[in-house]
Amino acid sequence: MRRNILIGAFLAVFSAASTAAAPFSKIENPGFYRIMLGDFEVTALSDGISPMPADKILINTQLKQLEKAMEVNNLSLPLPTSVNAYLINTGEKLVLVDVGTGALHGETLGKMMKNLNASGYKAEQVDEIYLTHLHPDHVGGLVAQNKIAFPSAIVRVEKEEVAFWLNEETKRQAEEKDKRFFDAAIASLKPYETAGKLKTFEGEKELTPGISAIETRGHTPGHSVFAVESKGKKMVILGDMIHVASVQFPDPNVAIAYDIDASAAVAQRKRLFDDLAQQKALVAGAHLSFPGLGYISKKGDGYDWHPLNYGVINKH
């Protein structure tokens, strides 16, 4: 009898312990995602998530249009928006396209370097950095504690982009609210310029075998996207050709307040997206939900977005 009582007590204690709630882990999943593109290895790197007040910064649209898109996609404002960078290993060079925010934004961003390390690479291994444009969320990661963060890298930027954002006179003439963009570009690029590691290019050209710049001026004066091609496979890294997928894919006429020339940005988006839909090229988006990889198809006067399926991503 006593033996049965002891067994019952043990089982009761064990049962209570086994059903107790486990503590929260609070360990983040590393923010990198890897595919093969022909013979090239492509690694998507997350810099984090930024809350975007889409209702305040989208233009050429109505609030009802945005509210409908939010409802259909089960989203809320401010809109959680990814900031992504892309690392390409060509077998000859390690090329990083955009570098995230560094210390220029809040705690939810600035994680690109940590995720680069988690992916198996180090900053000192990066040979070249290609910047789509010089807005803070694309250049801030160039420096860490006011020092060059990529000691071996040459930074490549379109010539007019550099001439605009690194010009002190242009900064003085800018509206007060926009001067932070100039400050960020100057602080991020000047150390590389001083070290002789800033190299500009003009218009459309191949920067290294398999990676070419495509001119897409509008969002900024020298905005570029980059085409990556290997063994008949193609991927185009979009930079800021799109910010809010749920609104701007179905209606590409919707622009954003950060566009320096909104009409040109809209025209460039339509031209590029038409080409990408026809070519069925893989797309990598700086502000598409991480890892930002997928395909664009034409739908009426707009487009559909098709994220790359996880189950086949490493077979691409």
Q: Are 164 and 223 in contact (CB under 8 A)?
A: no
- What are the residue ranges spanned by the domains of the chain? 30-315
Q: What residues have CB less than 8 Å from 48, skipping those under 6 apart?
A: 31, 82, 83, 100, 101, 108, 109, 110, 111
d(CA 56, CA 36) in angstroms, rounded, equals 38
From start to end of 90-139, where are the E strands?
94-97, 128-130
User: What pTM was computed for the model?
Assistant: 0.90
pLDDT of residue 12: 54
Q: Is 50 exceeded by the pLDDT of residue 314?
A: no
Q: What residues have CB less than 8 Å from 120, skipping those under 6 apart?
A: none
Q: Which of 198, 94, 188 is nearest to 144 (CA)?
A: 188
- Tell me the pLDDT tens digit for each residue of 221-243: 999 999 999 999 999 999 999 99
* 141 — pLDDT class (breaks 50, 70, 90): very high
In the chain, the percentage of residues whose pLDDT exceeds 90 is 78
Residue written as token pair 């559909």: 304
**Domain 30-315: CATH class, spelled out:** alpha beta
- Tell me the pLDDT tens digit for each residue of 96-136: 999 999 999 888 999 999 999 999 999 999 999 999 999 99
d(CA 276, CA 281) in angstroms, rounded, equals 5
